[in-house]
Amino acid sequence: MDPLSTTASIISIIQLSTVVVNYISAAAGATKDRKSLRDGVRACEYILQQLKDEADDLEEGKAWSETIKALEAPGAPLGRLWATLNIVKAKLKPKDGFEKAFAALKWPFQEKEVENIIGAIERENNLLNLALTNDCRKLIQDIKKSSKENGRQLTELIEAVKEGSQDNHSQFEELKDELSRVQGSQTGLRNGIDRLHDRQDNQEAAEERQAILDWLKPIDYAPQHSDFIEGRQPGTGQWLLDSAEYQIWLKTNKQTLFCPGIPGAGKTILTSIVIDDISTRFHGDPSVGIAYIYCNFRRQDEQKVESLLASLVKQLAQGRLSPSGDVKDLYDRHKKKQTQPSLDEISRALQSTTAMYSTVFIIVDALDECQVSNNCRTRFVSEIFTLQAKCGVNLFATSRFIPEIVDLFNDSVLLEIRASSHDVERYLDGHMGQLPSFVQQNRQLREDIKTGISEAVDGMFLLAQIYLGSLDDKRTPKAIRRSLTGFRKQRPGSSEDKKVQVLAQAYKQTMERINGQKPGLKELAKQVLSWIICAKRPLTTSELQHALAVEVGEPELDEENLPQIEDMVSVCAGLVTVDKESKIIRLVHYTTQEYFERTQSDWFSDLGGNITEICVTYLSFSVFESGFCQTDDEFEERLRSNPLYDYATRNWGHHARAASIGKEQLILDLLMSEAKVSASSQAMMASRSYSGYSKRVPKQITGVHLAAYFGLREMLTVLLKNGHCQDAKDSEGRTPLSYATENGHEAVVKSLLAAEGVDVNSKDNGARTPLSLAAGKGHEAVVKLLLAEDGVDVNSKDDAYYKRTPLSLAAGKGHEAVVKLLLAKDGVDVNSKDNGERTPLSLAAGKGHEAVVKLLLAEDGSTRTLKMILTTNGRRCRMPQGKGTRRWSSCCSRRTEST
């Protein structure tokens, strides 16, 4: 609402109060009463002015609109204040013909009348002061409680003042009538208050809904989708939308349409076309839910199975006015504790959210780029098929022809994706303008280009893009026709391997073109490509600009050294593109990354070392000497002003560990700076999910902690030789050994265990030991080192979560090798119970970890095991009688059945 219209009623009463104060000041006599009444009116005017200022604030005004509505509703304070001030105005206003005598006007009020007027104003002031807290719910409740009594007393006041007046009787009657109108009937008042309550409830529900959606913080795929759909040519993919397979999938519940394709066939563009088609068809239909995922090889660390499913939950929840009960329970359970929901919890939330729709379409692009570690891809597809079986969702998925993925879709409808000649020619038509002007003037040449490239690419959309880009430096028709002949000779064969070979040849030719540029352009291209190839996550254009502007040895960044985005893209000869919505600068295709991973040494030298040097230089800038930021605003301003800072703090050590740069002194200088270590560790640990997040990260982190965290053994050794404490604890009680074991850095763990005075059983604030952290993460080599230490506590229990031992943590996660090591250690309690009475065996059985269950059964000869498994959280388990290695178990859950 426009702030002006929101505060119009307040402004009118402020203006009325100013008139009344002037009348009071101009009157004569009764000095004490005049002063009291004037002070009372001014106090009211002051509060009203504060309310107006709050509502007029450009940033906060929207949040005050409901409060102002409550104040001006029937039976609310503003109407009664208007009547009260008009009582004073009616008694003090000069009479016609007597203006000259105005200054000599006698005070018309009795002392009791003044007391009652001040009392009426103060009663409304109490409500106005409550309004200043912007607690709309409490304000509405107090208005409802006080409205009837305040209105009654004001009516009596008007009547009393009227009786004491010799004239103005008709004016006071009008005031009474107006007061009755603004007060409204009791029924009308209740209805008005109820409407305010409803509005407040709706606002609070909307705020809670948004808070839950913000908390479900997986990757936002909408910007990627916008970029993909914007890049298509009109009519592209119509063959897919018109196909019988697609039409059947669209109209039949519980259907799966699997669309594999060769690399570069345009699978992602066609996926975006499918999403756009469904969104358009069912626009405005609240019974249809749509959710989609674009898997990306550069974001595999972010695309774990829990994150992928949480993204589907969030997208489907966005289409409902209120999230499902399971989603609310998730939020309530984990938000305050700052914990993450389990896979089972997210699965239940996804099922309940899906059930809120009559039809749900789930679209997944590029399953071949989905993370494969920890069986992520298979588990994700299994979860979607389970969802389909229970809720009848329709699934559309694309992938390369990878046998293990194709096998997952054996029972599904299959439709191969290829770039049709029409789609390729539409693309070429739409991008012909990038070629030299002589091409635009030669229609036949343009037709030959379309025909030549379309025939040469044999269904590979990406190859058409590369070929077209390779023509932009040709300066004669003959040169272009010579290139077209070369394309035809390179035409890929029918197998995927042959097509990949042709792509590789195209990439090689493009790199040769880049190397043929002027030295400055060639150097810029190699810097851009090296960063994009080696970055641990996708980079924004601003991050890459700052990276390329860093000058090693300088204490600050010179913004005059920032390269232009257009130059960064153009010098890379079509290998790099920018997503407009997300501002991500990336390689044109994942096969480009695969090519450079195979041929990196042919084109670049010491990529990791150069990036490490730039990151460490950036973190060492003098601007970070102020150390830890004290507020979220200060911290976020630091990130805004220094775009590369977030990336550099989180990844410099990973680059350093993989490189041999010979810049140890640069790194040591950073690690020995207490302020810069404090600043960088704050940015490295912070996660935007709650107010005050930037301060709720571990403090007192040292350079030794960081060296251990990143696995930098040489740096750690030098720091320890220089007297740095090997067992220092940060504010969370964590030692360098704690960080090294959790992250699986075997060499660093070995060095720390060899250092005198290191406590192998040190506990952090959650009572987690190095062994429990390593066991829970499945770091076999590190667990072996720790178990070899004298006095290591194999049965320590954490306090942070469920009071579980290292064996419980490893068993629950299915880390077979770690479980074997722990079971071989004397004194390990194979039947230890957590705070939910769950044993290692019941945890492993409940998660379907067959191999671990067998190990635990072989170790445990107790028949009590049977009861433990049978009571595993609702799973159905069967086990014949028997002991030792001959005992068998079958534990089935929603996802797993093992024997």
Model confidence over 39-69: pLDDT tens digits? Answer: 999 999 988 888 888 777 655 555 677 778 7
What distance in Å separates the CA atoms of residue 577 and residue 423, rounded to the nearest whole number?
A: 20
> Is the predicted pLDDT of residue 546 greater than 80, yes or no?
yes
Amino acid identity for residue 417 in this structure: I
> Is the predicted pLDDT of residue 865 greater than 70, yes or no?
no
pTM, entire model: 0.68
Average pLDDT over residues 519-539: 95
Average pLDDT over residues 627-646: 94
What distance in Å separates the CA atoms of residue 353 and residue 327, rounded to the nearest whole number?
A: 8
What distance in Å separates the CA atoms of residue 653 and residue 666, rounded to the nearest whole number?
A: 13
Query: pLDDT category, 5, cuts 50, 70, 90?
Result: very low
> Is the predicted pLDDT of residue 3 greater than 60, yes or no?
no
Query: pLDDT category, 558, cuts 50, 70, 90?
Result: very high
CATH number for the domain spanning 368: value is 3.40.50.300
Average pLDDT over residues 353-370: 94
Structural domain includes residue 330 = yes
Structural domain includes residue 41 = yes
Query: Of the given ranges (494-503, 683-692, 821-830), which has the lowest mean pLDDT?
Result: 494-503
Q: Do 345 and 234 sit in the same domain of this protein?
A: yes
Residue 61 has a pLDDT of 53
> Is the predicted pLDDT of residue 100 greater than 60, yes or no?
no
Average pLDDT over residues 138-143: 81
Q: Do 129 and 225 sit in the same domain of this protein?
A: no
* Contact partners, residue 893, CB within 8 Å, separation at least 6: 846, 847, 848, 875
Query: pLDDT category, 529, cuts 50, 70, 90?
Result: very high
Query: pLDDT category, 244, cuts 50, 70, 90?
Result: very high
Amino acid identity for residue 341 in this structure: P
Residue 63 has a pLDDT of 61
Structural domain includes residue 42 = yes
Q: Checking phi first, is residue 366 left (phi over 0); if not, alpha (psi -120 to 50) or beta? A: left
Average pLDDT over residues 107-119: 88
The order of strands in the sheet holding 576-578 is 539-540, 584-587, 576-578
Range of the domain at 474: 421-491
Three-state DSSP class for 849? Answer: coil
Q: Do 206 and 280 sit in the same domain of this protein?
A: no
Query: pLDDT category, 172, cuts 50, 70, 90?
Result: low
Query: pLDDT category, 6, cuts 50, 70, 90?
Result: very low
Residue 182 has a pLDDT of 58
Asked if 653 and 710 count as a contact pair (C-beta separation under 8 A), the reply is yes
Q: Return the number of other C-beta atoms located less than 10 Å from residue 649's C-beta.
A: 23
Average pLDDT over residues 285-306: 87
Task: From 414, 441, 462, give the residue that closes a domain.
Answer: 414
Q: Do 227 and 131 sit in the same domain of this protein?
A: no
> Is the predicted pLDDT of residue 896 greater than 60, yes or no?
no
How much of the chain exceeds pLDDT 90, in percent? 47
Residue 535 has a pLDDT of 94
Q: Do 229 and 354 sit in the same domain of this protein?
A: yes
Task: From 464, 491, 518, give the residue that closes a domain.
Answer: 491
Query: Of the given ranges (121-125, 152-156, 716-720, 746-750), which has the lowest mean pLDDT?
Result: 152-156
Q: Do 451 and 388 sit in the same domain of this protein?
A: no
Residue 2 has a pLDDT of 37
Quick one: tokens of 278? 């469904």
Residue 600 has a pLDDT of 86
Quick one: tokens of 385? 């098929």
Query: How close are the terminal C-alpha atoms of the chain, in Å?
Result: 64
Structural domain includes residue 778 = no
Residue 95 has a pLDDT of 62
Residue 343 has a pLDDT of 86
What distance in Å separates the CA atoms of residue 303 and residue 539, rounded to the nearest whole number?
A: 16
Residue 898 is given by DSSP the state E
Structural domain includes residue 457 = yes
Q: Do 334 and 402 sit in the same domain of this protein?
A: yes
Q: Do 401 and 429 sit in the same domain of this protein?
A: no
Q: How far is CA 472 from CA 168, 488, 570, 717, in A?
A: 90, 18, 11, 54
Query: Of the given ranges (395-409, 487-501, 615-629, 781-795), which has the lowest mean pLDDT?
Result: 487-501
Task: From 491, 516, 531, give the residue that closes a domain.
Answer: 491
Of 673, 616, 625, 671, nearest to 649 (Cα)? 616
Q: Do 158 and 239 sit in the same domain of this protein?
A: no
What distance in Å separates the CA atoms of residue 772 and residue 778, rounded to the nearest whole number?
A: 10
Average pLDDT over residues 713-739: 95
Residue 27 has a pLDDT of 83
CA angle 846, 851, 857 (to 5 degrees): 75
Q: Do 325 and 405 sit in the same domain of this protein?
A: yes
Structural domain includes residue 697 = no
Mean pLDDT of the chain: 85
Number of domains in the chain: 3
Quick one: tokens of 835? 């705070």
Q: Do 115 and 202 sit in the same domain of this protein?
A: yes
Query: pLDDT category, 897, cuts 50, 70, 90?
Result: very low
Average pLDDT over residues 229-233: 81
Average pLDDT over residues 272-295: 94
Residue 690 has a pLDDT of 64
Average pLDDT over residues 683-691: 80
Query: pLDDT category, 23, cuts 50, 70, 90?
Result: confident
Structural domain includes residue 357 = yes
Query: pLDDT category, 869, cuts 50, 70, 90?
Result: low
Average pLDDT over residues 755-778: 94
Average pLDDT over residues 425-438: 89
Model confidence over 83-96: pLDDT tens digits? Answer: 899 888 888 877 65
Average pLDDT over residues 512-519: 92
Structural domain includes residue 764 = no
Q: Where are the beta strands (DSSP E) in 331-439?
A: 359-365, 394-399, 413-414
Q: Do 189 and 41 sit in the same domain of this protein?
A: yes
